[in-house]
């Protein structure tokens, strides 16, 4: 079977060039007679792999010298707690901008740990279809928190809030290295690798050194593994790291460098996203769910003409409270969406089902997705629309 175009929100597609390199080295990495999967993380053979991965992150993201680059485990969701446990020390208070599921979950985790969370702005009023404009954040906050790109809702910050002396924390899981980003504007950045960097299993953390507390100064009860100092003092190898995932990450980083770095990725990603959004905006059968000015280059949710504000409202009602007309509209919407996803998959365009909170479809077009893949999707969408009008 030939390879499909994989539009999954994560784990996502990886560059074929990288997959081929990994396959070629699976049984014998550089004459060692073993796979990286089998190597001791303390071995001389593995040491250059993790050192190169860190060096490439520093180079591609232009990480200042006073920042630590860490490779930890537990995904972005574990960072929701680690951020609060390590940064929420002085005022026990933090500012969160609520732009969807992941920002909400991060705030909820901080609250569990005793942090007084101020939701200073939210786009909940329009089902998180835009990014609120909060140009300046002030107050007695230990940190301010944003989710820079919202995978589910398909929104993205087109600006960086000015937080003054308040450390700005950003979840960049679904947009890391998709564009240039000024690391110095942030106190801490983190990214689960499974969208733009590597397979699932490692989380990148970039943290300003002065924000790393001694373990005994973290929130009371913070486990050893959830203290940033534990990882920064031990070169991300306090315990066994996800060795193979870091190895793949290093290869992806070299692929990014070969293709123009963050600037090259932005050019590549803008071309793909423009092609898809331009089609959606000109279509009488589909429409994008996010507002212009907040649109992600990575995640593009879209609906058919059978989806509307009315069907969305009906979907939130209990079954018994829906009118016959609402039931019929929801049934038609489900039928057309299911048909789209099924026929797209048969055509080699997989993982296009939208998240339940948005409905419809979602095309995640991360760095490794090609323009040819997006063109194939649009060609299918045109054909499907003609056949289902």
Residues taking part in catalysis: 102, 171, 195
> At 222, is the secondary structure helix, strand, or coil?
coil
The bridge status of strand 188-192 relative to strand 203-208 is antiparallel
In 3D space, the residue among 4, 6, 20 whose CA is nearest the CA of residue 248 turns out to be 20
Residues pairing with 171 in the sheet: 147, 190
Give dist(CA 270, CA 86) in Å, integer: 36
- Tell me, what DSSP letter sits at residue 303? E
Dmax (CA) of the chain: 69
Sign, CA torsion 80/62/214/235: positive
Contact 287, 347 (CB under 8 A): no
Residues pairing with 190 in the sheet: 171, 205
Asked whether the bond before 103 is cis by omega within 30 degrees of 0, the reply is: no
The two tokens of residue 366 are 């991360």
**Which residues does 223 contact at the CB level (< 8 Å), separation at least 6?**
none
In 3D space, the residue among 225, 235, 237 whose CA is nearest the CA of residue 86 turns out to be 225
Q: For tokens 């490439």, what's the residue?
A: 56
Sign, CA torsion 276/368/67/73: positive
Contact 282, 119 (CB under 8 A): no
Q: What are phi and psi of 132, to 5 degrees?
A: -65, 150
């Amino acid at each position: 079977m030939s390879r499909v175009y994989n539009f999954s929100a994560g784990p996502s597609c990886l560059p074929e060039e990288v997959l081929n390199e990994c396959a070629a080295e699976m049984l014998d990495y550089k004459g060692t007679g073993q796979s990286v999967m089998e190597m001791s993380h303390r071995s001389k053979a593995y040491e250059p792999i993790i050192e190169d991965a860190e060096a490439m992150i520093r180079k591609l993201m232009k990480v200042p010298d006073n920042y630590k680059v860490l490779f930890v485990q537990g995904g972005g969701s574990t960072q929701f707690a680690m951020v609060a446990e390590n940064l929420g020390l002085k005022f026990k208070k933090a500012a969160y901008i609520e732009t969807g599921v992941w920002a909400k979950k991060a705030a909820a985790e901080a609250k569990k740990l005793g942090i007084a969370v101020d939701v200073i702005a939210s786009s909940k009023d329009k089902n998180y279809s835009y990014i609120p404009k909060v140009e300046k954040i002030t107050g007695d906050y230990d940190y301010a928190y944003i989710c820079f790109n919202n995978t589910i809702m398909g929104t993205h910050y087109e600006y960086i809030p000015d937080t003054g002396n308040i450390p700005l924390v950003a979840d960049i899981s679904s947009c890391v290295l998709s564009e240039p980003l000024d690391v110095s504007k942030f106190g801490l950045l983190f990214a689960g690798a499974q969208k733009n960097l590597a397979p699932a299993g490692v989380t990148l953390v970039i943290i300003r050194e002065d924000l790393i507390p001694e373990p005994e100064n973290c929130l009371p009860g913070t486990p050893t593994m959830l203290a940033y100092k534990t990882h920064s003092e031990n070169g991300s190898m306090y315990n066994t790291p996800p060795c193979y995932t870091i190895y793949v990450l290093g290869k992806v980083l070299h692929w990014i460098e070969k293709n123009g770095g963050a600037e090259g990725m932005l050019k590549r990603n803008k071309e793909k996203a423009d092609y898809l959004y331009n089609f959606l905006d000109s279509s009488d059968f589909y429409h994008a769910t996010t507002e212009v000015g907040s649109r992600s280059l990575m995640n593009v949710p879209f609906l058919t003409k059978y989806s509307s504000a009315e069907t969305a409202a009906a979907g939130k009602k209990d079954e018994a409270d829906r009118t016959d007309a609402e039931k019929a509209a929801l049934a038609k919407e489900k039928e057309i969406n299911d048909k789209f996803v099924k026929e797209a998959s048969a055509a080699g365009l997989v993982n296009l089902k939208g998240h339940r909170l948005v409905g419809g479809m979602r095309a995640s077009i991360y760095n490794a997705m090609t323009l040819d893949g997006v063109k194939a999707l649009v060609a299918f969408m045109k054909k499907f629309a003609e056949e289902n009008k």
